[in-house]
Amino acid sequence: MSAPRARWVIGNWKMNGNRSANAALVKALVAGVSAGGAAHDRRPRVAVCPPVIYAAQVGELIAGTTIRLGAQDVCAHPEGAYTGQISTTMLGEFGVSVVLVGHSERRSMNGERDEDVAAKVRAALGAGLNTVVCVGETLAERDRGEAEHVVGRQIDAVIPALAAHPGGVLIAYEPVWAIGTGRTATVEVAQGMHQFIRERLAAGSAALHATPILYGGSVKAANAAALARAPDIDGALVGGASLVANEFLGIVDAFTPQA
């Protein structure tokens, strides 16, 4: 029997936080994640992605714990004249081991195209980072019946990059209409798309069949347990609720399998 897929719960703080709020939040997360007795061993992998300027601060606060440090974006290039950007090597120097690529806010607000996302994915996986490729359709695309077409296109664009380093790959399905709106996809909709993504990945490269696929979009402690029961939902990428320690810890608990 093959090993079960890794489960992950990742907090995307987006452009939120400040030194004192970060300290209070991380202290509560460290206490919560470190507790838990026997359940501790079954916990999903947990990561937080603060604004990159706080990477050093958060890195110090989580040192020696199982919480991993993530970044919300990365540059595709190793160094040079790329004003405002951060390389994979720089992230690595500050202990970052997880990176989000192609978040819908970067696709829509920063003009990132599928090929830009693929270049970043190549760089991040090549640097040994756990790389979370974010995909998802807009409401207009879903209403036109194009959800699978759009997500399939986003997946196909990164398959060659993913296939080169399958071990570091994570996918996050985040329907744009569910992000920050309080409107979560139903478990049926999310599970259906996750199954579609899994089949698409496996069709692209057999090595990608065990890729963890996370759901994102208004995940909270209250809706996480139902999502966690779906067979192809391996974790969550959490925005708003990751800023509230009890909410985030409740989502971690929901993705912790029963003994």
Over the Cα atoms of the chain, what is R_g? 17
User: Does residue 46 bind ligand PGA (CB under 6 A)?
Assistant: no
Which span (110-118, 122-130, 152-160, 232-240) binds ligand PGA, by CB under 6 A? 232-240
Which span (106-114, 152-160, 239-247, 249-257) binds ligand PGA, by CB under 6 A? 239-247
User: Does residue 12 bind ligand PGA (CB under 6 A)?
Assistant: yes
> Are residues 126 and 119 in contact, defined by beta-carbon separation less than 8 angstroms?
no
Q: Give kind and range of the element (H or E) at residue 147.
A: helix 147-164
Cβ-based nearer residue to ligand PGA, 218 or 256: 218
Which of 149-166 are b and which e, b meaning 16 or more Cβ less than 10 Å from the residue's Cβ?
Answer: ebbbebbebbbebbbebb
User: Does residue 174 bind ligand PGA (CB under 6 A)?
Assistant: yes
- Residue 198, beta-bridge partner list: none
Q: Which of 137, 141, 174, 247 is catalytic?
A: 174
C-alpha–C-alpha distance, residues 61 and 55, integer Å:
10
Which span (107-115, 118-126, 147-155, 173-181) binds ligand PGA, by CB under 6 A? 173-181
Binding mask 125-164 for ligand PGA (x = CB under 6 A): ----------------------------------------
Residues 193-222 that bind ligand PGA (CB under 6 A): 216-219
Residue 134 contacts by C-beta under 8 Å, 6 or more apart in sequence? 100, 101, 102, 103, 104, 172, 174, 216, 237
In the bound complex, what is the minimum distance in angstroms from residue 243's beta carbon to ligand PGA? Answer: 9
Binding site for ligand PGA (CB under 6 A): 12, 174, 179-180, 216-219, 237-241
